Amino acid sequence: MTTVITKMITRICLPLVILFSISLLLAGHNNPGGGFIGGVMFASIVALSYVVYGLEEIKKSFSPDWGKWFGFGLVLAACTGFAALPFGHNFFRSAVEILDIPLIGEIEMVSAALFDIGVYFVVIGSLLSIFQMVGEDK
Amino acid sequence: MDPFISITLAVFLPFLLAAAVPAVEKLIKHKVGWFASFVALVSFLLVVSLIPLVMHGEHFQASVEWIPSVGVEYSIYVDGLSILFGIIITGIGIIIMSYSNGYMGHKEDLPRYYQWLLLFMGSMLGMVFAANTIMLFIFWELTSITSFMLIGYWRNRPESVYGATKSLLVTAAGGLFMLAGFIVLRSITGTFDIPTILQNEMLIQAVRGHELFLAALILIFIGAASKSAQGPFYIWLPNAMEAPTPVSAFLHSATMVKAGIYLVARVHPIFSGTDAWFILISGTGIITMLVAGFLAFRQIDIKALLAYSTVSQLAYIMTMYGYATYQEPGIGVAAATFHLLNHATFKACLFLVAGIVAHEAATRDITRLGGLRHEMPITFIIATIGALSMAGVPPLNGFLSKEMFYESSLEMGHALGSPFTFIIPALAVAGGVFTFAYSIKFIAAIFLGKRPEKGLPSHIHDPSFVMIIPAAFLAGLIILFGLVPSIAVQNLVEPTASSIMMETQHLHVKLWHGLTGSLVMTLITFLLGIAVYTRYDSIAKWQNSFNRKYPFISINYIYDGLVNNAKDTLKGFSSFMQPGPVRRYVLALLFLTIVLFAVPFLKLSAGFIPTLNFDVAPYELLVFFFMIIAALGAAMLPKYLPAVISLSALGYLVGLLFIYLSAPDLALTQVLVETLSTIIFLLAIVRIPQTFKERITPSLFMRDALIAVSVASMVFILLINATQGIIPPFESLSYYFIEKTLPLAGGHNIVNVVIVDFRGYDTLGEISVMCLAALGVYNLIHSRGESE
């Protein structure tokens, strides 16, 4: 697995895939994509680099605590349940507001998108922490 | 301020500021207790500001929708009863949290202690101001949980853990009965809202006439009795004394144990005046009062003695709320309410004294204490005031409410007629006699008599002002309410009684009210009490020898048996349900799936001949062909590695198929998940032997083949039915989502909108499961390391 070719490809793919995963996350409301797919995409490229370069090697330069990621995601997702309350909707109802920002144009603000970001973090965090723990286990 | 906002603040400020406690502790170190007291003071002022609102029996209600589809609301109800409880909770809260500053050592885990105290106070306030039964239930169970954490505060002591577990098992389980009772009540009345029932005479009559009346009453009462340690449920309270003493004073004498009484008072207008009410509430009350009062004799730990006396005193209150006849449904209401308030003052005071004694003398064992009156004169005076009030000696507040107890007992006996005219007052006096005896014992054992030669520290003295002032303040209240009862009666007791009785009540409580029947009963109580006190030790000795001879005549014996056996029973059950090899689980799952799906489907599609459509594009056929090969490979290859690769090939092929079927979301997900699971699979299987060891016998093969074929054909039938939309009673859900996604959720991607919006709550559950799975893996890996 650790040939020069895989290393090179992984290196080229890493930024592209991460950007793609973010675009999947943000596009999810209207186009194919969403927090879950984006999260799995992110997790798989990091997993790939773990496999190709070795866990220890990657951890030297990049070693976030994935447990915090899923913790944060879960809290964020749970909190969005309340996001619609100030707009006069019920608990967990998605609030839709359309903002008109000069130069950028109309942007749709949906509280469900925040929820999706929570899902994104939970998926990344839980998958990679499982991955890392199983991988580190001797 | 708007009452709704005041109450919401009073309830939720403790919750919010509890989160700030660790940060505050970093700033002001061990003085963090004063911060907690300050929070309690704020809540107290907020509650007090509402007294004028309810002075004359008025009430106030406001609500915000929560789950409107089932009638669950965040709804608060302010009346005399909830204000009385609110004042007791926050008032005693201030006193306890200030006192804790002296009691808790600076090395203890103070943030955790004050956090849970504040959380408890908030939950308790939420409970008494809740108008909606579901909200009441949630806060009710929160008080059980916070109490669990506080009893188990010293986590390393097995007694603490035992007491905490016991209290949680009993009170939380009782809460579930109460929930069932609320649901029964809703099925009768159609509402979860208590005031709606209280204010509607028709609904109350409907409840009383309903065949489920008794079920609702008994279920709700089980909840109340378990929380207030009544009847057989009293057993958790003595063990709860493992908590730090201020906690015992706060939760287990003044507030939480009164939650059950609150509940009984709250539903009083709905159920009272019936025979069932009187028999259940007063019957349980009288028995508990006598048994707990009697059992207090053999306790040698001063806190255990106080615990039994608390059970017995709560039983007084319970009994009085139970006194009801059809004509006069509220004979004991005013008396019960007044005693409730008085008990909170004198019992909290006595617990604070117990804490002081334990703190200074380093023991709570009455056989090792004695003669401390010279060394701790101030504590002695405070303890005497508290204990005499409990014994019902004038001119203290306990005397007044005890008199009212006797008076209402006389009235109730009179209303029931012979032979109860005599029996009920006699039982009441018996309860009073026990109370008198153990109250005197409390003072005598600690302060009177001779100081033991050894076992006590050489220098014992009154504690610092931080601890003495809260206790002295309560003692002051005891005297004040005794001498000038109108302060408490007019501001707190009358509004409460009015709100329970649903009409304005006027009480005349005076220290001297002539030579009445109740005064005679009090005198008898004193005489008999002194007589019993002289035999105190021999009664205790007799109880001990009885307990040794018949250890099984005890509710604790039954509880321990149940709980200890539960471990073995569950072990048997779980080893039956979880035999080990994963294959068995899969077998059970597949078998159940076949049965559960096949039976209704075969019925529904009977007589229908599906038109099979073999018009499949050639490239799709090719994919199917490879899928079959991959599946066969996964099943038949002899080593793990090729089998796993084959399985993931199958997965990728399915992904390809999704693309043909124009489902990009699914295809993307499928491919990604397949990749990750293959990697994780590979990580795991490098550690295990590479070849399968099992030998597959022909019969095993036949069985597995049979199951595989049935599952496959079932899925086949299911798909044919589903794709042709022929199952009559159902309409495809997708039309709804196609129609509503854009207008309701503002998104074009239906799949994602369903996930994050329509079924957002489901998704929240699912991502919680993902987090739990990660934590589970963590535990698996780390716990294995420990056992090695």
pLDDT tens-digit series, residues B273-301: 888 999 999 999 999 999 999 999 989 89
pLDDT at B144: 94
* Predicted pLDDT of residue A102: 66
**Tokens coding B607:** 């007589």
Phi, psi of B149 (to 5 degrees): -65, -35
Per-residue pLDDT tens digits for B129-152 = 999 999 999 999 999 999 999 999
Please, what's the b/e burial string for B673-710 (b: 16 or more CB within 10 A of its CB; e: otherwise)?
A: bbbbebbbbbbeeeeeeeeeeeeeeeeeeeeeeeeeeb
Element (H, E) at B220: helix B213-227
Residues 6+ apart with CB under 8 A from B140: B127, B175, B178, B223, B227, B259
- Dump pLDDT digits (tens) for B346-389: 999 999 999 999 888 888 888 888 888 888 999 999 999 999 99
Contact B246, B100 (CB under 8 A): yes
pLDDT at B566: 85
Q: Give the mean pLDDT of chain B.
A: 87
pLDDT band at A104 (very low <50, low <70, confident <90, very high): low
| Neighbouring C-beta atoms of residue B99, cutoff 10 Å | 30
| B640 vs B425, more confident | B425
Confidence band (pLDDT; 50, 70, 90) for B639?
Answer: confident
Task: Give pLDDT, residue A96.
Answer: 63
Structure confidence by residue, pLDDT tens digits, A76-91? 988 887 766 666 666 6
Q: Residue B319: pLDDT above 50?
A: yes
What's residue B449's pLDDT?
83
Each residue's pLDDT tens digit, A10-40: 899 999 999 999 998 888 777 777 888 899 9
Residue B781 pLDDT exceeds 90: no
Establish if A127 touches chain B: CB-CB under 8 angstroms: yes
pLDDT digits (tens, 9 = 90+) for B708-735: 888 888 888 777 777 766 555 556 677 7
Task: Kindly state the DSSP code that residue A95 receives in the 8-state scheme.
Answer: P
Pair A116, A34: CB distance under 8 Å: yes
Chain B contact probe: residue of A37, A107, A124 with most B CBs at under 10 A: A37
Is the CB of residue A86 less than 8 Å away from at least one CB of chain B? no
Three-class SS state of B421: helix
What residue spans define the domains of chain B? 273-534, 579-609+694-729, 613-692, 731-788
Q: Which residues form the domain of A10?
A: 4-136
- Classify residue B20 by burial, with Cβ atoms within 10 Å: 0-12, 13-18, 19+: middle
Q: CA B278, B280, B286 angle in degrees (round to 5)? A: 85
State residue B689's pLDDT score: 74
Q: Indicate the number of domains in chain A.
A: 1
- Report yes or no: B686 at the A interface, CB cutoff 8 Å: no
Closest residue by Cα to residue B192 from B201, B179, B209: B179
Contact B770 A131 (CB under 8 A): no
Name the residue among A43, A70, A137 with its Cβ closest to that of B771: A70
Q: What is the pLDDT of residue B579?
A: 78
Q: Cα–Cα distance between B772 and B395 in angstroms, integer?
A: 60
Report yes or no: B668 at the A interface, CB cutoff 8 Å.
yes
CA B310, B314, B316, B319 dihedral sign is negative
The verdict on a CB contact (< 8 Å) between B774 and A44 is no
CB contacts, 8 Å: B786 with chain A: none
Q: Write the pLDDT tens digit of every residue in B578-635.
A: 877 787 888 888 888 888 877 777 776 666 666 676 777 888 889 999 999 999 998 8
Contacts of A127 in chain B (CB under 8 A): 676, 770, 774
The answer to whether residues B85 and B128 touch, using CB atoms and an 8 Å cutoff, is yes
Residue A32: per-residue pLDDT: 77
Please state the rounded mean pLDDT for residues B431-449. 92
DSSP code at position A93: P
Q: How far does B75 lie from chain A, in Å, by closest CA?
A: 15
Q: What is the pLDDT of residue B429?
A: 93
Distance, in angstroms, between B665 CA and closest chain A CA?
5
d(CA B1, CA B15) in angstroms, rounded, equals: 20
Give residue for tokens 């207790």.
B33
Displacement of CA B502 from its chain's centroid (Å): 28
Would you state the pLDDT for residue B578?
A: 80
Using pLDDT thresholds of 50, 70 and 90, give the confidence band for residue B788: very low
Is A70 an interface residue toward B (CB < 8 Å)?
yes
Distance from CA of B659 to the nearest CA of A (A): 12
Give B764's contacts in chain A (Cβ within 8 Å). Answer: 77-78, 81
Chain A residues with beta carbon closer than 8 angstroms to that of B664: 32
Portion of chain B with pLDDT greater than 90, in percent: 45
